[in-house]
């Protein structure tokens, strides 16, 4: 038993010495390639076995011939192990280099495609992660392109919308200054109207900038959807009467929600004004509110008689600057009055921003004779 313990001590001592040297070498080459590290690991393993074997052989006082045979056998095993480690390292490095080149492609704006051929489980897992990241980047790039297009359109439209009233204001002020205005009171009223329009446009721009900057401060409180709808209907009733449009708010349930009353009233008012402007005279704009079938949220809908939105435009309705197309017209044979001047295309973008700030969702879909805007809000806990 004592001899066995002694042999074990000799073998352990030789292996520990070789392992310590190997650990030091690994630390020195830690910044080198995987192939070098694999070679060092294989060399340390074989050297530890060789050191332990030789230490035991010396302790057992083997003959010089037997010692030489043992040393030769272990040396051959070491050569084979190192050769395999080198081949394995080169293979792993080659797969890693191919993966790096593929990753560089999607980093430069392309899409990621995993290189063909076999790879280790770790490289396969890394390829899956890179593919998922590539898909997310592609979606982000597409969203960024859409936002950039929307910003350019918004700048163009705002520039045009500001130029028109400013030119009118200048012309009217010059006419008043030169005494050429036959009815100064009418000019004053028109100037006031244009100033109100500009003020409304600037207010929308400020609100949208707060939403995009994440600086929209909400003061939520528990209130009834019925009261919110009532306040919004009261605000748009004069416009509906002027346009000859009927308002129908008879399908609104008394559902409690936790929202910022001022901001949510603005959401409903924007939707109602938008519906009234696109509904022909003698048409109906209906607003309804009820709990969703699964009981997890309340859905407020505004249905108009605009004739529908072209399917290709539906995904862009809530984009900044979107103002529709000529295709959004009342049904054939239905009389309508001229629509008031279009806004800057900010109202629906503001609607979406405020609703999403309340952890809700805004959507739109076509229905027979028009379209329906839906605002989904979570019910209070």
pLDDT digits (tens, 9 = 90+) for 222-238: 999 999 999 999 999 99
Q: Determine the pLDDT at residue 276.
A: 93
In DSSP terms, 290 is beta-bridged to 299
Between strands 246-252 and 284-291, the pairing is parallel
Look at residue 298 in the predicted model and tell me its pLDDT. 93
* Predicted pLDDT at 337: 34
Strands (E), 108-199: none
Burial class (CB in 10 A: 0-12, 13-18, 19+), 150: middle
pLDDT at position 132: 79
Q: Rounded distance, CA 274 to CA 266, Å?
A: 12
Q: What pLDDT does residue 336 have?
A: 36
Q: What does the pLDDT read at residue 341? A: 43
- What is the model's pLDDT at position 293? 83
Alpha-carbon distance 79 to 43, whole Å?
9
| pLDDT for residue 334 | 38
Say what the pLDDT of residue 120 is. Answer: 64
All residue ranges of the chain with pLDDT < 70 are 1-4, 6-7, 10-11, 14-15, 26, 29-31, 33-35, 55-62, 67, 85, 89, 105-114, 117-120, 122-123, 150, 154, 321-345
Give the per-residue pLDDT at 303: 94
Q: How do strand 256-259 and strand 246-252 relate by DSSP bridges? A: unpaired
b or e along 307-339 (b: 16 or more beta carbons within 10 Å of the residue's beta carbon)? bbbeeebeebbbbbbbebeeebebeeeeebeee
pLDDT tens-digit series, residues 319-376: 776 666 543 433 444 333 333 344 556 788 889 999 999 999 999 999 999 999 999 9
Confidence (pLDDT) at 333:
40
Report DSSP letters for 338-369, one per residue: PPPPP--S-HHHHHHHHHHHTT-EEEEEEETT
């Amino acid at each position: 038993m004592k001899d066995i313990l002694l042999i074990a001590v000799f073998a352990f001592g030789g292996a520990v010495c070789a392992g310590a040297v190997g650990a030091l070498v690994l630390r020195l080459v830690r910044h080198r390639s995987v192939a070098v590290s694999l070679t060092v690991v294989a060399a340390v393993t074989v050297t530890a076995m060789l050191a332990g074997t030789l230490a035991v052989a010396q302790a057992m006082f083997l003959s010089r011939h037997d010692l030489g045979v043992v040393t030769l056998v272990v040396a051959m095993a070491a050569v084979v192990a190192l050769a395999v480690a080198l081949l394995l390292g080169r293979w792993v490095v080659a797969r890693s280099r191919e993966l790096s080149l593929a990753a560089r492609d999607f980093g430069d704006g392309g899409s990621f495609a995993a290189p063909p051929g076999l790879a280790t489980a770790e490289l396969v897992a890394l390829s899956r992660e890179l593919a998922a990241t590539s898909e997310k980047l592609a979606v982000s790039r597409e969203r960024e392109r859409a936002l950039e297009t929307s910003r350019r359109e918004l700048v163009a439209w705002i520039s045009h919308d500001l130029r028109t009233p400013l030119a009118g204001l200048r012309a009217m002020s010059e006419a008043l200054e030169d005494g050429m205005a036959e009815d100064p009171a009418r000019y004053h009223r028109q100037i006031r109207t244009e100033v109100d329009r500009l003020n409304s446009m600037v207010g929308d721009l400020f609100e949208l900038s707060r939403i995009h900057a994440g600086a929209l401060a909400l003061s939520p409180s528990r209130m009834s959807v019925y009261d919110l709808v009532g306040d919004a209907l009261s605000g748009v009733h004069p416009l509906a009467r002027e346009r000859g449009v009927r308002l129908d708010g008879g399908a609104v349930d008394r559902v409690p929600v936790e929202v910022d009353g001022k901001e949510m009233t603005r959401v409903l008012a924007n939707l109602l004004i938008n519906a009234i402007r696109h509904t022909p005279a003698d048409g109906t704009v209906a607003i309804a509110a009820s709990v969703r079938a699964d009981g997890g949220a309340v859905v407020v809908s505004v249905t108009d008689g605009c004739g529908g939105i072209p399917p290709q435009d539906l995904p862009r309705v809530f984009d900044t600057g979107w103002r529709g197309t000529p295709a959004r017209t009342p049904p054939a044979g239905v009389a309508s009055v001229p629509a008031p001047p279009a806004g800057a295309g900010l109202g629906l973008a503001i609607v979406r921003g405020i609703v999403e700030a309340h952890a809700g969702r805004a959507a739109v879909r076509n229905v027979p004779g028009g379209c329906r805007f839906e605002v989904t809000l979570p019910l209070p806990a």
